[in-house]
Structure 1
Amino acid sequence: MKSPACNVPAHIYIWDNRVLYAGPGIEPRYRSYGSAALLVGVEGNLRVHRQTHAHEVVETRACLIRPGLPVWLESDSPSLMVLFLDPFQHDLKALATTAGQQTCGILWPLSGEDQLVDLARQILRTPLSPQTVSGILVKLGLPDTCRLEPEGVDPRVARAVSMLRGGRTRNITTEDLAATVSLSVPRVIQLFRQYLGISAGKYRQWHRLHATTLAIAQGQTFTQASVASGFSDLAHFSNTFHSMIGIMPSRLLRANGGVHFYVDPWLSAQGFSTLSGINSAAPTIC
């Protein structure tokens, strides 16, 4: 495999329910995302396999990864696009219908792969606005919303998620969530697996990454943003980012031109505090 190049820019788009990364290729390693993810090799195929099924390697240009699934990812492409999908899996359910087959939680090949590659190349060449990117994603099959939408989700799960979003600086346990929504701990665990595909602790960690990235995009330093989101220090944030995303934040800063952030206008207007609860407004394209 070729070493990921640092001579391509890094671009991060942030919405309330999604985050898109387009930039230098991610280091080959095992990772476990806190949401479903859409992966696209910009200039070459991806090679992906589940940690427990190393002999079943999927080679494809684009694929979907289910949330919380430990997978190995590598690619010869010097650049990569990853779209982290909404936590309630509405996006995953919509895009799964475009996949030809599923192998150990990896869905591939996807219809619209050429359009996804074109989108990634456009972003790397001449960055698009968040509204334009959202419009393209909707045409490719994603739901027409850029806000976290609890529709169709057990209201107790939605309430628990809202609690985790609002308490990102506190260590909220599964027992705390169970007491808040008047359920047993095993039932809370079951419902999180059913609706988010991951544990409550994994989601809290994932949301902290989301909130930290938004704060950095809005002008806070890496240290300020990581501490404000509940990480003990910058090293804690960097190690978590590296283990879940597959690249060190410092490496993004060394990319050609550094890191460019694009925040959905609605999210930007709401500010950092918007990630403290679920917005139940009518779905709106942004």
Structure 2
Amino acid sequence: MLPIDAPVLLYLWDKRTFHLSQFHQPLQLAQAAAMLLVGLDGPLHITSQGDALACRSALLPAGLELSVDGRGSRVAICYLDVFGEDFALLAPRMAASLTGVLHGLDSEAACIRRFDELHRSSAAPEQVYAWLDELINPQQGVPDGFVFDPRIVRTIELIKADVSCNQSIAYLAKQVGLSVPRLTQLFRQKIGIPIRRYRQWHRLFVTSVGVARGMSLTEAAVAAGFTDSAHFSHTFRSIIGMTPSAVLAHPQGVRLFAG
């Protein structure tokens, strides 16, 4: 039986974002960040590039377009770090791949049990973050061959420093010593999405953090660079695959935290 009295968990950290909720409608995702999904009560039915699969855990790279149907199951969603370190740690631990979707986490059964426990207890943010760290990087190491590109790190720092400003790619390229075509190419290669898409994703994050800290949705959206709450809602649905109200207006309430 599903714990129907348990609230939605929506915890926002700078490195990762965690969302655990029951899903009755399919999510139409245009991936702006890599994600780990775990179906707590039944399989996830995923359609990507015309291929379909059913699985209990899936690792999705940034930039992928697909549909995910939980069919009433609770789904734990972890949006992973933007630079790809989490993805690089998890990818070798998935059993199989189909059209870009990696699935079958090696510790899947234990992972499902732990997420179920965290949901039933409405676990505090620090408990969830500690579990995510343990799940993703149990050895606290760096993935083999993984390096941060300092130019991309700096580009993201510049975007984050003034999220409400549409800094031109020419300006960003000049600041990191690259040509516009080279920055555009390198950013997509390292992050998996175009600069504009990343900026939209980060603005969604900043808006959600503002709401978690007591701002109205309109105030938070405008402060993050959206023209109004309708612009925010449209972007939210195009990237996250559902409306903000589907996340924030759950019948059992939402436990919302921004760290």
- TM-score greater than 0.5 by the shorter chain: yes
Code of the residue aligned with 2:74 in structure 1: it is: S
- Asked if 1:202 is matched to 2:197, the reply is yes
User: For residue 218 of structure 1, what is the aligned residue in structure 2?
Assistant: 213
Say if 1:17 and 1:86, in contact at 8 Å, map to a contact too.
yes
Say if 2:20 and 2:119, in contact at 8 Å, map to a contact too.
yes
> CA shift at 1:110, angstroms?
0.8
Say if 2:37 and 2:59, in contact at 8 Å, map to a contact too.
yes
Choose which of 11, 17, 21 in structure 1 pairs with 2:15. Answer: 17
* Aligned-partner Cα distance in 1 for 2:138–2:85: 7
> CA shift at 1:102, angstroms?
1.7
* Aligned-partner Cα distance in 2 for 1:123–1:58: 27
**How big is each residue's C-alpha offset from its partner over 1:237-272, in whole Å with a ceiling of 9 and x where there is no partner?**
1111112112211223331232211333xxxxxxxx
User: For residue 125 of structure 2, what is the aligned residue in structure 1?
Assistant: 130
% identical equivalent positions: 33
- What SS is found at the alignment partner of 1:97? helix
- Asked if 1:44 is matched to 2:42, the reply is yes
User: For residue 29 of structure 2, what is the aligned residue in structure 1?
Assistant: 31
Say if 2:28 and 2:242, in contact at 8 Å, map to a contact too.
no
> CA shift at 1:91, angstroms?
0.4
> CA shift at 1:143, angstroms?
7.0
Task: Give the TM-score normalised by structure 1.
Answer: 0.82
User: For residue 230 of structure 2, what is the aligned residue in structure 1?
Assistant: 235
- What SS is found at the alignment partner of 2:192? coil
* Aligned-partner Cα distance in 2 for 1:204–1:35: 11
User: For residue 157 of structure 1, what is the aligned residue in structure 2?
Assistant: 152
State which drifts further: 23-32 or 233-242: 23-32
State which drifts further: 72-81 or 135-144: 135-144
User: For residue 100 of structure 1, what is the aligned residue in structure 2?
Assistant: 95
* Aligned-partner Cα distance in 1 for 2:189–2:234: 28
Say if 1:26 and 1:247, in contact at 8 Å, map to a contact too.
no
> CA shift at 1:37, angstroms?
0.2
User: For residue 118 of structure 1, what is the aligned residue in structure 2?
Assistant: 113
Question: In 2 relative to 1, CA 143–240 (structure 1 residues): closer, same or farther, beyond 3 Å?
Answer: farther
Count residues with an aligned counterpart.
252
* Aligned-partner Cα distance in 2 for 1:108–1:258: 30
Question: In 2 relative to 1, CA 208–74 (structure 1 residues): closer, same or farther, beyond 3 Å?
Answer: same
Say if 2:93 and 2:106, in contact at 8 Å, map to a contact too.
yes
Instruction: Give 5+ residue unaligned stretches, structure 2.
Output: 141-145
- What SS is found at the alignment partner of 1:124? helix
Choose which of 77, 84, 107 in structure 1 pairs with 2:79. Answer: 84
> CA shift at 1:229, angstroms?
0.6
**How big is each residue's C-alpha offset from its partner over 1:108-147, in whole Å with a ceiling of 9 and x where there is no partner?**
11111123222332233112122222222222233788xx
- What SS is found at the alignment partner of 1:115? helix
Question: In 2 relative to 1, CA 191–15 (structure 1 residues): closer, same or farther, beyond 3 Å?
Answer: same
Question: In 2 relative to 1, CA 143–18 (structure 1 residues): closer, same or farther, beyond 3 Å?
Answer: farther
- Asked if 1:168 is matched to 2:163, the reply is yes
> CA shift at 1:154, angstroms?
1.4
* Aligned-partner Cα distance in 1 for 2:136–2:230: 38
- What SS is found at the alignment partner of 1:57? strand
Say if 1:26 and 1:246, in contact at 8 Å, map to a contact too.
no
